[in-house]
Amino acid sequence: MISVEHLTKRYGRHTAVNDVSFRCEPGTVTGFLGPNGAGKSTTMRMICGFTPPTAGTATVESVDYRRLPNPGRRVGLLLDAGAQHPGRTGRETLTISAHTIGVSRRRVDECLDQVGLNAVAARRRVRAYSLGMRQRLGLAQALLGDPRVLILDEPANGLDPEGIFWMRGLLRDFADRGGTVLLSSHLLREVEAVADRLVVIGGGRVVAQGSKDELLAGAGALVRARDPEALRGALDRAGLPVRSSTDGGLLVEADPGAVGQAAADSGVALLELRPAESAGLEQIFLTLTANDSVREAVR
């Protein structure tokens, strides 16, 4: 379990993280979403004791991370796959951690196997690894101590589609066996497929959080017609608010039944009509964070 309460981090006059609170329960995958520079990594570093918070507390398994006697056996961390010594082999990287936390060499092989790094890859130096391989090595390192909690910062970066699919399965399985997972991403789609809960952060503040279903509910309907103008007219006549349009489709703040009825009343032929789901969440994500990310880019 991870518990974050009112975490705040200021650097001089800049507030990187502002009063962030959330909880990650055992058996769930929590997606930590936000654009780059929103404060995801800073929050995660504060959870793990790398960055002292200006205010607030964070606990993992009910204690301050730094007070865990052997944190490698409780919490698996992957904060930056690039933070590996390029001169060490993959196996050596894991062996050092294994010695430190007191797990057997056999466990090193198991973890390498689990993340799909074969014997040849394990013998190569990390310098020769692709980003995807480094992510796999980082994940193997996180899993090494057979932890109950996984904290992963942008773990899908550099993974190919097959790798992303594989990682989703691994994280789902980890959570289903009672583990707690917190993973961050700036890509909604990546997190949506695996997360049970979402915490959306923008400009250092939590802008939305809840179960994925909660956040998806009331997202409206996505509708597409051969003649978009006619459709818009039909919706306007029915008094249904159109929230936005993307690639010819319209996002309507109404349930699909009402939208279908409006289209039928005006005799507009539809190509597609469905609950908005991800499109809605994407909209939430964009509107909640767009301003902040623009500000971030300008600063």
H or E segment at 75?
strand 75-78
Q: Which of residues 126-145 bind another protein (CB under 8 A)?
A: 141, 145
Beta carbon of residue 287, minimum distance to another protein (angstroms, whole number): 30
Helices (H), 115-160: 119-123, 131-143
Nearer to another protein, 44 or 219 (CB): 44
Binding residues for another protein, total number by CB under 8 A: 41
Q: Which of residues 179-218 bind another protein (CB under 8 A)?
A: none
Closest CA to 135 of 183, 201, 202, 197: 183
Beta carbon of residue 158, minimum distance to another protein (angstroms, whole number): 17
Closest CA to 171 of 143, 145, 202: 143
Q: Which of residues 45-104 bind another protein (CB under 8 A)?
A: 45, 48-52, 61-63, 65-74, 77, 79-80, 82-88, 92, 95-97, 99-102
Compose the 280-299 pattern: x for residues touching another protein by CB under 8 A, - for all others: --------------------
- Alpha carbon distance 286, 293 (integer Å): 9
Q: Please answer whether residues 271 and 225 qualify as being in contact, where contact means their C-beta atoms are separated by less than 8 angstroms.
A: yes
Beta carbon of residue 101, minimum distance to another protein (angstroms, whole number): 6
Per-residue DSSP letters for 195-226?
-SEEEEEETTEEEEEEEHHHHHTT--EEEEES
Nearer to another protein, 148 or 197 (CB): 148
Supply angle C-alpha 290, 18, 295, rounded to 5: 30
- Return the structure tokens found at 276: 């908005």
- Alpha carbon distance 47, 182 (integer Å): 11
Nearer to another protein, 70 or 130 (CB): 70
Q: Which of residues 4-43 bind another protein (CB under 8 A)?
A: 41
Nearer to another protein, 63 or 290 (CB): 63
Beta carbon of residue 117, minimum distance to another protein (angstroms, whole number): 17
Summarize as ranges the residues that interact with another protein (CB under 8 A).
1, 41, 45, 48-52, 61-63, 65-74, 77, 79-80, 82-88, 92, 95-97, 99-102, 141, 145
